[in-house]
Amino acid sequence: MNVLLKDATIIDPSSSFHQKTVDILIEDGTISKIGSNISKEDHIDEITLPNLHVSRGWFDSSVCFGEPGYEERETIANGLEVAAKSGFTSIALNPNTLPITDTSASVGFLDSKAKNHAVRLYPIGSLTTKSEGKDLAELYDMQQAGAIAFGDYKKAIQNPNLLKIALLYAQNFDGLVLSFPQDNSIAGKGMVNEEEQSTLLGLKGIPSLAEELQISRDLFLLEYTGGKLHIPTISTAKSVTLIKEAKAKGLQVSCSTTVHHLTLTDQELQTFETSYKVQPPLRTQKDIDALKQGIKEGTIDMVTSDHQPMDIENKNVEFDNAKYGTIGLESAFVALNYHFDLDQIISLLTKGKDIFKLENQPLEEGSIADLSLFNPEGETTFETDHILSTSANSAFAGKPVKGNVYGVLANKQLVLK
């Protein structure tokens, strides 16, 4: 693949071309030349797009598709196409399938289904067998097969000794352990944030304490065992404080939050729209402010879409009976771009590669081309016809957004929306 990107503004603070508008020549998947007025040769395809901006390829650390087992929600093939057209060159796929990704064979299946696509799929193996929270799964074997981390998706490890053993065992092969932050004994049958809105709407609440208590416990365990712990999708002000204190102690802990937890509050629940039924639940403006401060200070390492397609039979029902989850790949950049500075967004969408030990190529001559293509300008409303996923459960439908994603140039392939 030989491509010449014309008049592209580079957004990469580590690059000598940061914020410069240049031509970028990619030959056989490698950036061979960056400069002004590069001449096009016959064997090269020239790409010219309005207000084209280019950054390192974006990485989403928490994505669900459906295959195997729930193909009606999203297949791997369509999901990867959605990711590419949403600007992501790599995604970490959660063990949220049937069967659960808890063996080297199941990791191999995902790898084979995603082979030769522009977007690289990195499986997250289940921490416990069948994600039942009883026995550790085949962590080492899964890592050898390609798994980049281990966690039970949206399922807290209730047995602290099991998490202790996992943190100790994973150190033998530098494994990254994920622990979903919710104490189920506190959360009970709650489904939304326990605050004024839950009372007004008559919905059972999940207090912030459920998240914070679990994080406190996990950080105590990490301090005892050592190792590496990642806490996905935090949502409360106190959670930010707890992780900040743990990092100050020198613990190897990282965390993420979601685009919807950064931009939407539990006020959205007044419509009883089930796309707002997410886990953890949407919190308050006070929590959003704390999350934003956590990003500014570097406590929060990355932002994820937490893309979770759900078929209409599980969403177009009463709020109590609806399943959790919202899709988010398509809206991730444009929603963030409405609220945050561009350099900060690119950092949040790429820094996770370092934590998950993935290749993170700079935008320089000689680097492998792993690029996200986008236009950061132009405000609009996110509509249902912007949805590319098989499922349509988007919490951002009808919300103001900014910018437009063109696609990706990665793995020697160009995918444009």
DSSP string, 210-260: HHHHHHHHHHHHHHHH-SEEEE-S--SHHHHHHHHHHHHTT--EEEEEEHH
Q: Which residues contact 209 (CB under 8 A, 6 or more apart)?
A: 183, 186
Residues 379, 382, 386, 389: what is their CA dihedral angle, to the nearest 10 degrees?
140
**Phi, psi (5° rounding) for residue 353?**
-60, -40
Cα 257 to Cα 267: distance, rounded to the nearest angstrom: 19
Whether 97 contacts 70, CB under 8 Å:
yes
* DSSP code for 357: T
Catalytic entry in 42, 306, 320, 343: 306
Distances (CA, A) of 93 to 70, 76, 177: 14, 10, 15
Q: At what angle do helices 160-170 and 208-225 cross, to 10 degrees?
A: 40
Q: Report how far residue 209's alpha carbon sits from residue 187's, in angstroms, rounded to the nearest whole number.
A: 8
Residues 6+ apart with CB under 8 A from 105: 145
H or E segment to which residue 404 belongs: strand 400-410
CB 157 within 8 A of CB 126: no
> CA angle, 166 as apex, 161 and 167 as ends, to 5°?
100
Tell the burial category of 254 from Cβ atoms under 10 Å away from its Cβ (0-12, 13-18, 19+): buried
- Which uninterrupted H or E stretch holds 163? helix 160-170
Q: Which residues contact 400 (CB under 8 A, 6 or more apart)?
A: 338, 379, 380, 381, 382
Active-site residue 23, yes or no? Answer: no
Residues taking part in catalysis: 306
